[in-house]
Structure 1
Amino acid sequence: MGTIHQLLEQQGKQSAIEMGTVSRDVIEAAAQYLSEEDNALACAYSGWAQCALPHRRQPVEQAWVVSSERMRLVVEPGRRPIGDSDNLEFVGVPFGSYARLILLYLQTQALRTNSREVELGRSWRAWMSRIGVPWGGSSGKAVREQAELISRCRLTFHFQGDGRLGLVNQSVVDGALFLEREGVSRQERLSLETAKLSEGFFEALKRHPIPLEEAAIKALANNSAALDCYIWLAYRLHSLAAPRLVTWKALKAQHGSGFKELYHFKSKFPSVLQLALAVYPSANVEVVEEGLILKPSRPPVAPKLIASR
């Protein structure tokens, strides 16, 4: 268990905050994680640990491209009709924490039911509520927007390296049922009732899933960068045979595409890392001048727990 978790166990949250040695948001995340009694299993495709969606809204016509050592993610924005005309408008690519939460739900449910078709409706709302995202008001509107962007975009994972290229899939959602037109003309939005993962994505997900803790996702639900970092650590640490250095340059390529300069990323990423470590007590990571040293660690979800669910 990490230092912050030992501190919380021994002193309690308020004392930990008053000591001032750890930032309050890290203490809050760790305390929320430790307080969860019913910790369900969640899952993500391993490609998301190597390349992720943008954190902020992009220009609606602009594609999103991000690369890691072995993977490249390309997300092309979708289009929708403008009112009753034959004209189309770009809607942009999915972004932020809500897009990630929706995708985590779709992947978890698909594996849980062993079906590409995932029901939304009540089960989706219940999961989002459990994660801590209110369905009504501005948050509900934002969730519906991200559902539409995910449904309309064209998303592709490419393998790269060793002189080989490979295509994983050409979309996340292969088919969806749209209901309840809300508003008219350019303000029109559509809500989803069911979603069907593409066959390629579903097969890749079944072959390469990353087991995650729902409690960890809940504690990081409002921070897309920390969610990405947690998924990355869950993917990397348990498979290491020995400590490995990941340079700041490599980290920026994967986690810092929104930063223009390396020194800006280098000054901000440690706080993101601390949030991810707050919900992954067994993670063993050291920050050094050259970057991060990743050390062999237990996975966030024990294999025996995965087998029993």
Structure 2
Amino acid sequence: MARFQRLAEQASSLAELREEIESRGAKSAGEVSFMSSVLVQATLPHSDPGDVDAWGRTNGDLSLYIQPGVEKQEDGTFQSLGYPYGSYPRLILIWINSQVARHGRRRLDLGESLSGFMEDLGLQVTGGDHGTVGRFREQMRRLFGAKIGMIWGRPGREKRRAAVVADELDLWWDPKDPDQRTLWESSVQLSKPFFEAIRKRPVPADRRILREIKQSSLAVDLYLWTTYRVACIEEPLVLSWQQLHDQMGADYAEVKHFAAEARNHLEEIALIWQDLEYETPRGRLKLYPSPPSVGKLVDKDGEE
């Protein structure tokens, strides 16, 4: 009984959000975010890949791979920082892409406190061994230390591009006191190759939807991918769950488990984004051409 009550409350909340979005678009509400189209087509891991030299994901001719950065130990040795995975790196990347799209700068100010930056991303700030602060800071260090590469390959041709995310990082935050303000603002300077790669054809998204689904990295991936794809297709796009699993859900041991999770998240997203048209015939996802979640944005001179 309690479960059905929670589901009813969630449906009511999503319906209210849908009405808000329908009455006021993301641009007029100041709620537009951006994500690199490359990172929408091939996504980060959902769970920790573990101790491997490189991790990758493939979508058609495009393959994305990640290699972790390193950190210095107290004994002077160096070891892997580990891979960025889950929701936190995705939300940070969305923030980065949004800042780049708006301001066109490589150096980004992260603010005077860790809690302030987390709140800017719509995250709860909790301490302790099982709190959000430690996990968020760890994922942020992993992301900024990582090297991300893309390979475009087809018979007779191959193109590669790779870059560290940041070539400079200044963190003055104390993870034990996330509210503490410092004399100097923390900042990150994106590497030039990474900066140039993510600023091309960014995908606009509604920050209000992202805040609602931010707990699930798969939901975030599905939302960004669907709003990107519906704007590109002229005929219905049909993919098997196996194909979609290989593209964005390779961390699931069985395709049927991925498909069940994906269907649940798509239902949730469709309750908020009313224009999303799709079907899930047996073993497949059928996506119909429809208006994207956030329409084309034009500047004051009328340029896209």
Q: Which TM bucket (shorter chain)? A: 0.7 to 0.9
Q: Does 1:210 find its partner at 2:203?
A: yes
Where in structure 2 are the equivalents of 1:35-46 lying within 5 Å? Answer: 35=20, 38-46=29-37
Work out which of the residue numbers 68, 72, 80 in structure 2 matches 1:77.
68
8 Å CA contact 2:109–2:185 kept in 1: the answer is: no
Q: Secondary structure at the match of 1:297?
A: coil
1:133-167 Cα deviation digits (max 9, x unpaired):
12342222222111100121211122233643222
Q: Distance in 1 between matches of 2:240 and 2:278?
A: 13
- For these two proteins, the number of residue pairs brought into alignment is 282
Partner in structure 1 of residue 280 of structure 2: 287
- C-alpha change, 1:302 and 1:65, in structure 2 (3 Å) is same
Work out which of the residue numbers 211, 225, 230 in structure 1 matches 2:223.
230
Work out which of the residue numbers 55, 69, 93 in structure 1 matches 2:46.
55
- C-alpha change, 1:128 and 1:256, in structure 2 (3 Å) is same
| Deviation beyond 6 Å, 4+ runs, structure 1 | none
Q: Distance in 1 between matches of 2:243 and 2:185?
A: 37
- C-alpha change, 1:162 and 1:234, in structure 2 (3 Å) is farther
1:232-266 Cα deviation digits (max 9, x unpaired):
01111111111121112211111221222223323
1:66-108 Cα deviation digits (max 9, x unpaired):
111132111112211111x321122210011111111111111
Choose between structure 1 and 2: higher helix proportion.
1
Q: CA shift at 1:193, angstroms?
A: 1.3
Q: CA shift at 1:180, angstroms?
A: 5.0
8 Å CA contact 2:108–2:188 kept in 1: the answer is: yes
- C-alpha change, 1:266 and 1:182, in structure 2 (3 Å) is closer
Q: Secondary structure at the match of 1:170?
A: strand
Question: Which stretch of the first structure deviates more once superposed, 41-50 or 62-71?
Answer: 62-71
8 Å CA contact 1:33–1:215 kept in 2: the answer is: no
Q: CA shift at 1:282, angstroms?
A: 1.4
Query: Cα RMSD between the aligned structures?
Result: 2.9
Q: Does 1:110 find its partner at 2:100?
A: yes
Partner in structure 2 of residue 249 of structure 1: 242
Partner in structure 2 of residue 194 of structure 1: 187
Q: Secondary structure at the match of 1:226?
A: helix
- C-alpha change, 1:166 and 1:279, in structure 2 (3 Å) is farther
Q: Secondary structure at the match of 2:199?
A: helix
Q: Distance in 2 between matches of 1:201 and 1:213?
A: 24
Partner in structure 2 of residue 188 of structure 1: none
Residue type of the partner of 2:232? Answer: S
Q: Secondary structure at the match of 1:89?
A: strand
Q: CA shift at 1:124, angstroms?
A: 8.0
Residue type of the partner of 1:307? Answer: D
Q: Distance in 2 between matches of 1:124 and 1:118?
A: 14
- C-alpha change, 1:126 and 1:182, in structure 2 (3 Å) is closer
Residue type of the partner of 1:132? Answer: G
Partner in structure 1 of residue 270 of structure 2: 277
Partner in structure 2 of residue 146 of structure 1: 139
Q: Distance in 1 between matches of 2:20 and 2:237?
A: 32
Q: CA shift at 1:39, angstroms?
A: 4.4
8 Å CA contact 2:277–2:287 kept in 1: the answer is: yes
8 Å CA contact 1:92–1:149 kept in 2: the answer is: yes
Partner in structure 1 of residue 179 of structure 2: none
Work out which of the residue numbers 45, 56, 79 in structure 2 matches 1:65.
56
1:186-211 Cα deviation digits (max 9, x unpaired):
xxxxx991112222222222222101
Q: Secondary structure at the match of 1:289?
A: coil
Structure 1 alignment gaps of length 5 or more:
1-16, 184-190
Residue type of the partner of 2:160? Answer: L
Question: Which stretch of the first structure deviates more once superposed, 281-290 or 192-201?
Answer: 192-201
Q: Distance in 1 between matches of 2:100 and 2:94?
A: 10
8 Å CA contact 2:110–2:117 kept in 1: the answer is: no
Q: Distance in 2 between matches of 1:192 and 1:52?
A: 30
8 Å CA contact 1:131–1:221 kept in 2: the answer is: no
Q: Distance in 1 between matches of 2:126 and 2:185?
A: 15
Residue type of the partner of 1:243? Answer: P
Q: Distance in 2 between matches of 1:56 and 1:170?
A: 22
Q: Secondary structure at the match of 1:307?
A: coil
Structure 2 alignment gaps of length 5 or more:
177-183
Work out which of the residue numbers 81, 84, 91 in structure 2 matches 1:91.
81
Normalising by structure 2, report the TM-score: 0.82
